[in-house]
Chains A and B, each alone.
Chain A
């Protein structure tokens, strides 16, 4: 009875992603390194199969491979509803800037954020109230919940796309002014400002 087989059985039977700690509890405190190694081997084993072993929300789960989405969807008559742009933008801001108040979200989007948007995100468990900000009015502070990580296939918040490149507003202002002085300087020298567009966009193509 190999460890890999035991893991497969546990993960398949579970309703939600299974964490390492839970596996250890059930396997007599086996060293986590051993479990991780077996999981990594399983993960690569399933990489070429119709189901994948993926890490999401702090645990491991079997999922159908994304390339079979259209096929699998035919099992059900109900199509998953599309998310509106306002919902996605609000979710993105909450994910990257949590804990964040509604007013801060509105400032970033430049429009009101309706209760139905926040409510819709809360209903799915993607967003939850983390607490209150100790400023007048004590507004709610929003953050993401575990279902957000699970549903979007994120191991943790660190796996959000491009989080490292995200700039603060102060940094953006600084950058804006810096670029302007460069532009002025170039204009004085009688040369057109250097084109930064076009060439380096290919890197982000994926």
Chain B
């Protein structure tokens, strides 16, 4: 016992005794691990890796999809904006047209009203002058009737009658 300890304290070195170092059994164990561990662990790791890759691909797909729909929405927004601006400009044009139209109509209406007033005035003047004429004629007839009895006698009447008869004969 003492001698073996004494021998063992000689210093660092290599021990190449196959049995003492248990190298053969270790080799078997390590070989077994090398044979079976990659199968066991490798399966787990490969599943993990494919899961991660699938997740990544999924996320990328969703990103693509989102990007596409964003672009589509942007396009739609642009077209809607275009439509809105078109509608706005159309409205402006229409408003301008309506304004012009109503202005024109107003002017026409004013002209018509003016003309109507003028024609009313003319008609009134005509009516008034007619009335005056009738009045004048009436007055003249009344005057003549008033004068008539004093001027009309038998001779004059007969003269008048014969004159009328003569006149009838000429006709």
Do A and B make up one complex? no
**Which residues does A use to contact B, with CB under 8 Å?**
none
